[in-house]
Amino acid sequence: MVDKGPTAVTVVVEKVMVTVRAATRCPSSRRSRMSCSAAEASYLSSSHQAVTQLGIVSGFWLMCTFAGTTIIFTLVTMIT
């Protein structure tokens, strides 16, 4: 599998994770939060590969589920 860089979904997921981590772990002052967010962003870029793989797996799972549902719906429509 070739990693084509961040897709829109992975970028959104990473931004949400950065925000959540910054909100839960960082001091409340704005400057500290921003520097903490930068540290979290560098941490997350290392876990980017894992997020990408998770996106690929969940996308594949959704595609299979949708295809299966469509096939079942078509069969039920044909039978009735």
The per-residue pLDDT for range 1-29, each reduced to its tens digit, is 445 555 666 666 677 666 655 555 555 55
pLDDT at 70: 87
Q: How far apart are CA 8 and CA 57, in angstroms?
A: 16
pLDDT at 45: 61
Report helix, strand or coil for 6. coil
Q: How far apart are CA 57 and CA 6, in angstroms?
A: 15
Against a cut of 0.75, is the pTM above it?
no
Residue 35's pLDDT band, with cuts at 50, 70 and 90, is low
Say if CB 40 and CB 78 are below 8 A apart.
Answer: no
Q: What is the mean pLDDT of the chain?
A: 67
Bin 27: left if φ > 0, else alpha if -120 < ψ < 50, else beta.
beta
pLDDT at 1: 47
